[in-house]
């Protein structure tokens, strides 16, 4: 499934990732990076400013930080587009309004971005996130209560968003039924 989607988005100028934490967005984005895309990440922006201290902030402050990171992410994307780069945006894009904003910025530059939705069942996300160690921007912990909230409130792309859907790479197929 991943290779199939990689082939479909390879010629895009901009790929916007979306999915809950632990769904494989960064894994997929790094594969695009190997194909010449410039990867920008909201987690990277937050980590560069706050490191692992981010998880110790109250939820209201975390939300402010993420909103600021989304703004920075949009600015970085536009700068890279203006420079002629191919861009992959590695972020949850948990709301349609966020995806629409990024899409509108791309369209204003004459670019129709590809949207890639990383879909994964909750138990797989829980397992992946339980193994994180908070050692860097791609390894940030998300506690189970927050994960369940993100999972429940995530706005899955609708048909009119024309998103490519990727399921997780699962090496132990027995985990699909747990």
Read off the pLDDT of residues 18-33 as tens digits, 9 standing for 90 and up.
Answer: 998 888 888 899 999 9
Confidence bin at 135 (pLDDT 50/70/90):
low
Residue 95: phi and psi, rounded to 5, are: -120, 145
Reply yes or no on whether the pLDDT at 175 is more than 60: no
Q: Are 134 and 51 spatial neighbours (Cβ–Cβ below 8 Å)? A: no
Q: Is the dihedral of CA 99, 95, 24, 177 positive or negative?
A: negative
pLDDT for 178 equals: 40
CATH number of 2-169: 3.40.50.300
pLDDT for 33 equals: 95
Higher pLDDT: 158 or 124? It is 158
pLDDT for 160 equals: 92
Confidence bin at 125 (pLDDT 50/70/90):
confident
Mean pLDDT computed over 35-53: 87
Reply yes or no on whether the pLDDT at 104 is more than 80: yes
pLDDT for 168 equals: 67
Q: From residue 168, give the alpha-carbon distance in Å to each of 87, 92, 124.
A: 22, 15, 8
Reply yes or no on whether the pLDDT at 136 is more than 80: no
Question: At how many degrees (to 10) do helices 2-9 and 25-34 cross?
Answer: 50
């Amino acid at each position: 499934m991943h290779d199939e989607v990689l082939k479909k988005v390879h010629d895009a100028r901009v790929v916007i990732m979306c999915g809950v934490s632990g769904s494989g967005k960064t894994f997929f984005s790094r594969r695009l990076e190997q194909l010449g895309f410039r990867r920008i990440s909201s987690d990277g922006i937050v980590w560069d400013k706050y490191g692992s201290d981010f998880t110790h902030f109250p939820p209201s402050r975390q939300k402010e930080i993420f909103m600021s990171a989304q703004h920075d992410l949009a600015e970085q994307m536009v700068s890279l587009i203006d420079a002629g780069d191919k861009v992959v945006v590695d972020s949850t894009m948990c709301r349609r309004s966020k995806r629409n904003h990024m899409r509108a910025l791309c369209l204003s530059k004459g670019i129709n971005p590809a949207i890639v939705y990383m879909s994964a069942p909750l138990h797989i996300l829980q397992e992946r996130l339980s193994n994180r160690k908070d050692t860097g921007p791609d390894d940030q912990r998300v506690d189970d209560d927050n994960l369940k909230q993100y999972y429940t409130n995530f706005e899955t792309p609708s048909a009119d968003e024309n998103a490519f859907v990727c399921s997780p790479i699962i090496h132990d197929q027995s985990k699909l039924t747990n």
